[in-house]
Amino acid sequence: MQIEEIEHMNEHNRLDDMRATALQGGGQAQIDKQHSKGKKTARERIETLLDTDTFHETDMFVTHRAVGLGMEKSHPLTDGVVTGWGKVDGRIVYVYAQDFTIYGGSLGKEHGLKIARLMDLAYQNGAPVIGLNDSGGARIQEGVDSLAAYGEIFLRNTRSSGVIPQISVILGPCAGGAVYSPAITDFIFMVENYAYMFITGPEVVKAVTHEDVDFETLGGESIHRARSGVAHFTGPDEDAVLGQVRLLLSYLPSNNLAPAPYVPPQDSPTRETTELEDVVPDEPNKSYDVHDVINLLMDSDSFLEVQPDYAQNIVVGFARLDGYPVGIIANQPDILAGVLDINSSDKAARFIRFCDSYHIPLVTLVDTPGFLPGVEQEHGGVIRHGAKLIYAYAEATVPKVSIILRKAYGGAYIVMSSKHLQGDLNFAWPNAEIAVMGPEGAVQIVFRKELANGNAAEIKAEKTRQYRQEFANPYVAASLGYLDDVIYPRESRQKLIAALESLRNKRQATPPRKHGNIPL
Active site (catalytic) residues: 176-177, 411-412
Residues belonging to the chain: 520
Q: Which is nearer to ligand HXC, 103 or 429 (CB)?
A: 103
Of residues 348 through 377, those in contact with ligand HXC by CB under 6 A are none
d(CA 41, CA 104): 12
Residue type, 39: K
CB of 204 to ligand HXC, least distance (A): 7
343 CB-near residues (< 8 Å, 6+ apart): 229, 310, 311, 385
Residue type, 210: H
Sign, CA dihedral 71-76-82-84, equals positive
Residue list 490-509, contact with ligand HXC (CB under 6 A): none
Nearer to ligand HXC, 180 or 475 (CB): 180
**What are the C-alpha distances in Å from 378 to residues 358, 366, 374, 416, 455?**
33, 23, 6, 20, 36
How many residues sit close enough to ligand HXC to count as binding (CB under 6 A)?
17
Q: Does 173 bind ligand HXC (CB under 6 A)?
A: yes
Question: Looking at 135-143, 416-424, 463-471, 477-485, which segment touches ligand HXC (CB under 6 A)?
Answer: 135-143
Q: Which stretch binds ligand HXC (CB under 6 A): 43-51, 131-139, 315-323, 383-391?
A: 131-139
CA neighbours closer than 13 Å in the CB half-sphere of residue 118: 29
Amino acid sitting at position 121: L
- CB of 140 vs ligand HXC, minimal distance in Å: 4
Among residue numbers 187 through 206, which ones bind ligand HXC (CB under 6 A)?
201
- Site mask for ligand HXC (CB under 6 A), range 99-128, x = bound: ----xx-x----------------------
Decide whether 138 or 362 has the Cβ nearer to ligand HXC.
Answer: 138
CA 125 remoteness from chain centre: 23
Q: Output the smallest distance, CB 221 to ligand HXC, in A.
A: 15
Helix (H, G, I), strand (E, B) or coil at 349: helix
Q: Tell me whether residue 27 or residue 243 sits nearer to ligand HXC (CB atom).
A: 27
Dihedral sign for Cα 462, 464, 466, 468, please.
negative
Closest distance to ligand HXC from the beta carbon of 109 (Å): 13
517 Cβ contact partners less than 8 Å away, ≥ 6 residues apart: none
- How many CA atoms lie within 13 Å of 329's alpha carbon, on the beta-carbon side? 31
- Binding window for ligand HXC (CB under 6 A); candidates: 64-72, 118-126, 168-176, 229-237: 168-176
Nearer to ligand HXC among residue 150 and residue 324 (C-beta):
150
Scanning 136-144, 159-167, 333-341, 448-456 for contacts with ligand HXC by CB under 6 A, the matching segment is: 136-144
CB of residue 21 to ligand HXC, shortest distance in Å: 18
Stretch touching ligand HXC by CB under 6 A, among 43-51, 172-180, 221-229, 354-362:
172-180
Cβ neighbors of 480 (< 8 A, separation 6 or more) are: none
Q: Contacts for 200-209 with beta carbons within 8 Å, 24 or more apart? A: 200/175, 200/176, 201/173, 201/175
Least distance (Å) between residue 201 CB and ligand HXC: 5
Binding flag, residue 130, ligand HXC (CB under 6 A): no
Report the nearest approach of ligand HXC to the CB of residue 102 (Å). 8
Residue 203 has phi, psi (to 5 degrees) of: -65, -45
327 binding ligand HXC? (CB under 6 A): no
Provide DSSP, 225-292. Answer: IIIS---SEEESSHHHHHHHHHHHHTTS-SSTTSPPPP---SS-TT---TTHHHHS-SSTT----HHH
Question: Taking the CB of residue 179, how many other CB atoms lie within 10 A of it?
Answer: 22
Give the separation between CA 251 and CA 261, rounded to whole angstroms. 6
Query: Of 1-9, 137-145, 383-391, 431-439, which part binds ligand HXC (CB under 6 A)?
Result: 137-145
Q: Please state the closest distance from residue 101 (CB atom) to ligand HXC, in A.
A: 8
Q: Is 176 in the site for ligand HXC (CB under 6 A)?
A: yes
Q: Per CB under 6 A, which of residues 195..254 are in contact with ligand HXC?
A: 201
Which region, judged by CB under 6 A, interacts with ligand HXC, from 46-54, 134-142, 325-333, 395-403?
134-142
Residues in 421-460 that interact with ligand HXC by CB under 6 A = none
- The one among 61, 180, 482, 488 contacting ligand HXC by CB under 6 A: 180
* Contact by Cβ (8 Å): 199, 176: yes
Among 85, 94, 96, 150, binds ligand HXC (CB under 6 A): 150
Asked whether position 149 contacts ligand HXC by CB under 6 A, the answer is no
Among positions 46, 49, 132, 138, the unique one binding ligand HXC when judged by CB under 6 A: 138
Tell me: does residue 136 bind ligand HXC (CB under 6 A). Answer: yes
Residues contacting 361, CB < 8 A, separation 6+: 324, 326, 327, 355, 398, 399, 400, 401, 500, 503
DSSP states along 8-75: TS-HHHHHHHHHHHHHTTT-HHHHHHHHHTTPPPHHHHHHHHSSTT--EEE-TT------STTGGG--
Q: Which is nearer to ligand HXC, 6 or 147 (CB)?
A: 147
**Residue 170 and residue 231 in contact, taking contact as beta carbons nearer than 8 Å:** yes
Asked whether position 412 contacts ligand HXC by CB under 6 A, the answer is no
Residue of the chain from 45, 64, 139, 493 that contacts ligand HXC (CB under 6 A): 139
- Determine whether 10 is exposed, middle or buried from the number of CB atoms within 10 Å of its CB (0-12, 13-18, 19+): exposed
The verdict on 140 binding ligand HXC (CB under 6 A) reads: yes
Residues of the shown chain interacting with ligand HXC in the complex, contacts defined by CB under 6 A: 103-104, 106, 136-141, 147, 150, 173, 175-177, 180, 201
